[in-house]
Structure 1
Amino acid sequence: MPRLVLASQSPARLATLKSAGVTPEVVVSGVDEDKVLADATERFGELDPADAVLVLAQAKAEEVASQLEDARDNADVVVVGCDSMLEFDGVVVGKPADAEVARERWRSMRGRKGVLHSGHWVVDLRDDDAGGTGGTLGSTSSTTVWFADIDDDEIDAYIATGEPLHVAGAFTIDGLGGPYIERIEGDHHGVVGLSLPLLRELLSELGVPWRSLRTS
């Protein structure tokens, strides 16, 4: 059975996989995101948000794959890396620097919509005997999110929980921010940070059926 390694420290991504019956190993990358994006921009020109998250997901997956390549027990490993950004008014919005930034962000987002982009990249480290392809590929999930038109008191109460400071776009859909998301167009799991349907498709292209990863 293939072993999935998640190159992310995100509790939400881990919980998403576990809820689908897959319990991955977690190996966090040491990627310098600013440098990766700067290098990619120098090579390819200005990146749109959908490409930026894909570049970062690839860097994270390949950095962890390089960590594991010399390990003696990696013969059946497949690595997945992810990254997420909110595109709002044509601008990329990551994690807010502090509570005031998160507050101002929510004041601008309320009653409006943005697009949450989540990049996914998969690296096949499996040996030939385990069906390995040596493949590496990825894609981006993009979901439109409509934010509720909440008042300042509601924003302040949400910021006070601390949750918005730790997530891309300063919101969650699967946590305390859920009540403030009116609707979405696209994949719910992509907003959480890992699109299960997209990951299934990428793994299928590498010859890894989703059912082979289920541990429950």
Structure 2
Amino acid sequence: MISDRRIYLASGSPRRKELLTQLGIPIEVIRADINEDPLPDEAPIAYTERLAREKAKNGWSHVLQFGLPLRPLLAADTTVVLGNEIIGKPYDAADAAAILRRLSGNEHQVITSVAMCDAERMIVRTSVSTVRFRSLSDDEIDGYVHTGEPMDKAGAYGIQGLAGIFVEEIRGSFTGIVGLPLCETAALLADFGRPVL
């Protein structure tokens, strides 16, 4: 068993940090700022996998640039897909409300891709889950937007927060919907010599 189990997390997401801590993996956070705009006609899974790879590459460049110890780095990207349309984070409160109105009473997919790399390789794994929202009233949507919770989240909601009351059904990974699928992440950690158990 490796003595130094630490990894880098190229993400500012408190939810990802919390989920890795839940696994008992010590982390050091590195910011990885990239352009998250989809490419023309880019398929949703190709989009999340590309962004996860780019965040990992950006984070790894930071490790090398600052002469940090070489240890595995993890990055992830989550998006919401309605039909075949990628729905990112809302621009403002009005956009958040419009997104939630579209999700109301419908099924959508949540795709999270996780990339892990070191000096020699990069591996990407992807989780796809389906979420069904019950029909939401305008008052519920406005009340939820007013909390501020939707503003930094793909699809304008956080299933682990108040929006959990909107969810009728989930098929797939709850933690993948939150932003870091633990099954796929644990497999990557094992691939890079950091097994959870």
Q: Choose from 170, 177, 186 the match for 2:156.
A: 170
3-state DSSP class of the match of 2:72? Answer: strand
- Does the 8 Å CA contact 1:16/1:194 hold for their aligned counterparts? yes
Contact persistence 2:116–2:188 (CA under 8 A): yes
Equivalent in the alignment of 1:117: 111
Partner SS, residue 58 of structure 1:
helix
Q: Which residue of 2 is the match for residue 129 of structure 1?
A: none
Structure 1 pair 110–121 and aligned structure 2 pair: CA distance change class (3 A):
same
What TM-score do the two structures reach when normalised by structure 2? 0.92
CA deviations on 1:124-162 (whole Å, 9 max, x unpaired) are 24xxxxxxxx22110211110111212111111001001
Structure 1, residues 41-80: CA drift from partner, whole Å, max 9, x if none?
6xxxx321111011001100111111112555413x1100
Q: What is the CA RMSD across the aligned residues, in angstroms?
A: 1.6
Tell me the equivalent position of 1:19.
22
Q: Which of these residues, 53, 57, 60, is aligned with residue 62 of structure 1? A: 57
Query: Contact 1:135/1:206 (CA < 8 Å) preserved in 2?
Result: no
**Partner of 2:132: helix, strand, or coil?**
strand
Cα separation, partners in 2 of 1:150 and 1:207, compared to 1, 3 Å: same
Q: Look up the equivalent residue of 2:118 and give its one-letter code.
A: D
Aligned residue in 2 for 1:183: 169
Which residue of 3, 6, 10 corresponds with 1:7? 10
Equivalences for residues 119-198 of structure 1 within 5 A:
119-125=113-119, 134-198=120-184
Moved >3 Å (runs of 4+): 70-73
Tell me the residue number matched to 2:92. 98
**Structure 1 residues 2, 69: CA separation in 2 closer, same or farther (over 3 Å shift)?**
farther
- The normalised TM-score by structure 1 is 0.84
Whole-Å separation in 1 of the counterparts to 2:190 and 2:19:
19
- Is the CA contact 2:72–2:192 (under 8 Å) kept in the aligned structure 1? no
The letter for the 2-side match of 1:83 is D
Unpaired stretches in structure 1, ≥5 consecutive residues: 126-133, 212-216
CA distance in 2, matches of 1:65, 1:90: 31
1:152–1:197 distance in 2 versus 1, CA, 3 Å? same
Instruction: Please tell me whether the aligned partners of residues 2 and 78 of structure 1 are also in contact (alpha carbons under 8 angstroms).
Output: no
Using the alignment, how far apart are the partners of 1:93 and 1:81 within structure 2? 20
Structure number, greater radius of gyration: 1
Aligned residues: 194
**One-letter amino acid matched to 1:65:** W
Partners of 2:194 and 2:121 lie apart in 1 by: 11
Structure 2 counterpart SS, 1:104: helix
